[in-house]
């Protein structure tokens, strides 16, 4: 009797006896595989929820620090103004010196508050470009080594083109360079364009993870047409490890379908989420 390659499930030939024990064995294997997948999904969900909660707390902490710094700065400014008025009345040069010191202190407090907010916020804008002229391909420079120290990257493309689709590639790699939902594809992801001529609006969110040997991508999009119909999907993909690794990534490439041009005014924004 033959068995399947992955889970060794039974496959009966014409001359094989059909036994209940074989069915029971297959059911046990299927049940174990489903349980393993469910556990992995639960762990991934818990990790994401913890990350989101940490981000919320960090933002709340940053807002509190900014409010406190603003209140303190306002109070110091009011005191400084009062001192300046007294100095103008009395002509006391020493008071003018105190005002200068207060001004320097305020600037220092604002700088400290800004630094505290930047440090507390886990999301950093790494780069943002807006095209100034039409092109058949737009590239994002990915050679900055600090990108590989992030937990993951968030890419928000807003591509204006007459084509319906836009493709995302790495290092301009085309045919057979990627697995998209376990299928060979000539692109890492695709998403709908923003096309004013066709009255189409879309929103795309790509999560890039630069592991030591693998470049992984989860790309979600939703598109709306003029008649209010919508389309959405999420693609899970990787660059084939023997083609390119995170250490070898040079560029992210955007190409419109059918060789169409990407119009001026298209925007590409890349964020990093700190570890």
Residue 243 has a pLDDT of 77
Q: Which residues contact 139 (CB under 8 A, 6 or more apart)?
A: 172, 251, 252, 253, 254
CA distance 63 to 1: 67
- Mean pLDDT per block of 10 residues along the chain (275 residues) reads 79 78 82 84 86 84 82 87 79 73 83 74 91 96 88 93 92 88 92 68 87 88 69 88 81 93 95 90
What is the token pair recorded at 202?
A: 């879309």
Q: Among candidates 237, 248, 233, which has minimal Cα distance to 172?
A: 248
Nearest 5°: CA angle at 263, between 261 and 269?
115
Q: What is the distance in angstroms between the CA of the first residue and the CA of the last residue of the chain?
A: 51
Cα–Cα separations (whole angstroms), residue 244 to 49, 111, 126, 178, 212: 31, 41, 22, 10, 11
Residue 239 has a pLDDT of 92
CA distance 17 to 30: 21
């Amino acid at each position: 009797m033959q068995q399947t390659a992955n889970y060794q499930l039974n496959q009966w030939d014409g001359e094989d006896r059909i036994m209940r024990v074989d069915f029971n064995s297959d059911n046990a294997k299927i049940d174990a595989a489903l349980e393993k997948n469910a556990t992995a999904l639960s762990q991934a969900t818990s990790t994401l929820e913890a990350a989101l909660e940490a981000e919320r707390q960090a933002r709340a902490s940053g807002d509190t620090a900014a409010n406190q710094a603003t209140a303190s700065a306002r109070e110091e400014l009011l005191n400084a103004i009062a001192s300046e008025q007294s100095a103008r009345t009395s002509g006391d040069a020493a008071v003018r010196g105190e005002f200068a010191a207060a001004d320097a202190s305020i600037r220092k407090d604002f700088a400290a508050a800004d630094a505290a907010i930047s440090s507390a916020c886990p999301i950093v804008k790494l780069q943002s470009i807006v095209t100034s002229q039409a092109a058949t391909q737009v590239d994002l420079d990915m050679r900055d080594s600090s990108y590989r120290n992030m937990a993951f990257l968030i890419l928000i493309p807003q591509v204006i083109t007459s084509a319906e689709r836009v493709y995302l590639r790495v290092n301009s790699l085309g045919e057979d360079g990627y697995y998209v939902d376990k299928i060979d594809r000539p692109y890492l992801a695709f998403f709908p364009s923003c096309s004013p001529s066709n009255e189409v609006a879309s929103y795309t969110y790509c999560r890039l993870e630069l592991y030591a040997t693998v470049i992984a991508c989860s790309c979600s999009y939703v598109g709306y047409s003029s008649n209010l119909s919508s389309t959405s999907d999420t693609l899970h993909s990787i660059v084939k490890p023997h083609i390119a690794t995170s250490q070898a990534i040079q560029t992210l490439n955007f190409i419109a379908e059918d060789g169409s041009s990407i119009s001026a005014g298209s925007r590409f924004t890349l964020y990093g989420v700190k570890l």
